[in-house]
Amino acid sequence: MYHHLYSQPSSSGQQQDIREKQPYEAFLVLDVEATCREGTGFDWPNEIIEWPVCLMRWKDRSGEGNASQLEIVDEFRSFVKPTWRPQLSQYCMNLTGITQAQVDSAPTFPVVLKRFARFLAKHGLIGSENGRPIQRFCWCSDGPFDIRHFVVKQCFISRVPMPPWIRGDILDVRRSVSSWETDNKQETTAVEVPIYSFAVPLDITDSRRAGQLPEISRRQPLNMHLQLQALGLPEFQGRPHSGIDDARNLARIMAELARRGVRLIPNASIRPNRRWYWMGRPGEVREDLLQD
């Protein structure tokens, strides 16, 4: 039911799907929302308040792994109750559309992880007993920050280890679109956008996997609206900064990249053991070190 809404073909005039060899069987498209205060950046101890995931699978993957048609087959969404600072700022509520009542009545992050693990097991992605992956699936997000920053910080605050099913390298969709656009400058209409430097360098520790990663520019020019535009897709559907709407639009971008023959593989890594300046003992946020 989902792909009728979110996996429509582009309006760019390209009709022929390109079947590329795709090594991954499924994709988990994630776009979390987190607590925030006006003026704070990625180093602040944000807490996740929405956990939305679109599960995508191939419609046409052959025995050799060739495919071009990717669709949403299920969704998972839960609001999350923050515990360090339970009160949302007005800025956060205005930005995300999430209300205080929604997070007050929501489960905490460890409970959400357990429920989501059952969702993964139901779809045959992980073992129900040990949580280990049993299919090849890849996490996808708009930039690396959803997992590299927000999930790592939230696991620290909640005093839970990062589950084995979210510890691998990820597919940064923004990078994939930027790379595709660079490779197809002659065939696409240029989009004038601001450029910014990517603050965290790509850190791939597995040399075998690193050899599979495409060459990526440090310049990341495209936000989600401009990614849709670059691919000739209809404009953003829903409310920006609603986690589930962001994830659905990101899934549309994924489906179009697949249709155009882009090989969907990880292109960024995470650092599960990274620490921030405000971290004390496990679960402890050093209030005396915060500048807010």
Report the alpha-carbon distance of residue 149 to residue 170 in Å, rounded: 13
Higher pLDDT, 214 or 145: 145
Which range of 10-14, 48-52, 60-64, 212-216 scores highest in mean pLDDT? It is 48-52
Estimate the crossing angle of helix 243-259 against helix 173-183, to 10 degrees: 30
Structurally, what CATH architecture does the domain formed by 3-269 represent? 2-Layer Sandwich (3.30)
Torsion over CA: 271, 228, 7, 244 (sign): positive
Summary mean pLDDT of the chain = 86
What token pair was written down for 271?
């650092």
Q: How confident is the model at residue 193 (pLDDT cuts 50, 70, 90)?
A: very low
What token pair was written down for 269?
């890594």
- At 38-72, the pLDDT tens digits run 988 889 999 999 999 999 999 999 999 999 999 99
- pLDDT of the residue at 187: 57
Check residue 238 and give left, alpha or beta (phi > 0: left; psi -120 to 50: alpha). Answer: left
Supply the DSSP symbol for 253. Answer: H
- pLDDT of the residue at 8: 47
- pLDDT of the residue at 292: 64
Residue type, 224: M
208 has pLDDT over 50: no
Using a 10 angstrom Cβ sphere, with 0-12 exposed, 13-18 middle and 19 or more buried, the burial of residue 111 is middle
- At 139-187, the pLDDT tens digits run 999 999 999 999 999 999 999 999 999 999 999 999 999 999 888 875 5
- pLDDT of the residue at 291: 76
Name the CA dihedral angle for 170, 176, 179, 183, rounded to a multiple of 10 degrees. 130
Q: How confident is the model at residue 204 (pLDDT cuts 50, 70, 90)?
A: very low
Higher pLDDT, 16 or 273: 273
230 has pLDDT over 70: yes
Report the alpha-carbon distance of residue 234 to residue 7 in Å, rounded: 11
Question: Checking DSSP bridges between strand 48-58 and strand 26-30, what pairing results, if any?
Answer: antiparallel
Comparing CA positions, the residue from 190, 262, 260, 249 lying closest to residue 15 is 260
Which range of 89-93, 129-133, 207-211 scores highest in mean pLDDT? It is 89-93
What token pair was written down for 17?
């799907």
Q: In the beta sheet, which residues pair with residue 75?
A: 54
Q: In the beta sheet, which residues pair with residue 141?
A: 172
Q: What is the largest CA-CA distance in the chain?
A: 59
- pLDDT of the residue at 218: 42
7 has pLDDT over 60: no
Check residue 158 and give left, alpha or beta (phi > 0: left; psi -120 to 50: alpha). Answer: alpha
- pLDDT of the residue at 242: 98
Contact 97, 246 (CB under 8 A): no
Report the alpha-carbon distance of residue 222 to residue 181 in Å, rounded: 10
- pLDDT of the residue at 188: 43
Mean pLDDT of 23-52: 96
What token pair was written down for 274?
């990274």
Domain ranges of the chain: 3-269
Contact 30, 78 (CB under 8 A): no
User: What is the DSSP track for 138-156?
Assistant: EEEESSSHIIIIIIHHHHH
Higher pLDDT, 292 or 192: 292
Question: Checking DSSP bridges between strand 70-79 and strand 170-172, what pairing results, if any?
Answer: unpaired
Q: In the beta sheet, which residues pair with residue 54?
A: 29, 75
